[in-house]
Chain A
Amino acid sequence: MFPAAAIATVRLLERLGHRVEFPAGQTCCGQMHVNTGYLREAVPLVRRHVDVFTGFDAVVAPSGSCVGSVRHQHAMVARRAGEADLAIRAESVAAHTFELSEFLVDVLGIDDVGAYYPHRVTYHPTCHSLRMLGVGDKPLRLLRKVRGLTLVELPDAESCCGFGGTFALKNADVSTAMLEDKMSNIAVTAAEVCTAGDSSCLMHIGGGLSRVGSTVRTVHLAEILAATP
């Protein structure tokens, strides 16, 4: 659905001198199934993920919530299904799995990736990157080093945008009320672009902005970091 974030991640990592592989056998981490209560249905997805990603030095995902699921749910799903071996293998894959900003700052030790992006940008810290992974200010450190970029602080930034996977459908009214407040705060910044580390949250925020006719665009953090003059 959002190839631009993945393409940008590939280009960025290659520009930084790394060999990127895309194991074609991968599908989905299964987070939607887990968070909706379909843990049994998630077991084959966990197994596939573990099989496909075992053996790499680092697995990088441009998504805080997918990495959150790999790190905090995969082993639990396997254990609950009585698959202790799979749980141990899942923990091993999780230990090598990083959200993009974590990988850049913690593993590669860089915060200047040589990007150029001449726009007024505000950053929404997505819930799972912030609270499940604890990425802290790593995305902001990366953004501050982007040439041409004006970073504007988002008021009440740490409040959820209201996406929450199937929550956006099951509790659509509450979700929309949360989204409205997030959009008001984005409007206050007068930013041209709202960025974040999760395509799903951006799809929610962007869908709301588009509906109300806002000119603010949602752009994944990877796309900004991959941008060059």
Chain B
Amino acid sequence: MLFAAIGAGSAFAHHESGAQHSGQAQAPAGSQKTGKGTGLIQQIDREKGAVTIKHGPLQGINMPGMTMSFLVKDKAMLSKLQPLQKVDFELTYDGRNYMITKIK
């Protein structure tokens, strides 16, 4: 229950701020990491240039599987994507933001 409350708290704060792109983490900037993964598209926000993906473990980023919203480098990358489509993607993490650089 305690974990749930903490988790809910951070997500709630994020929601309140209106910044639902969870790629915008608060950690200080560091050296950029690159990673890749596979996942199932849940939602596409073409206006904001974001895609929500239920993904497996991300290689290179050391992140376990979860559902997350990511910004994409170029909104045009979203043009051919559909919800519930399986995708392979690559991303970068600079200590603050996650950014998808390739997705198909």
| Pair from one complex | no
Q: Chain B interface (Cβ within 8 Å of chain A)?
A: none
Q: Chain A interface (Cβ within 8 Å of chain B)?
A: none
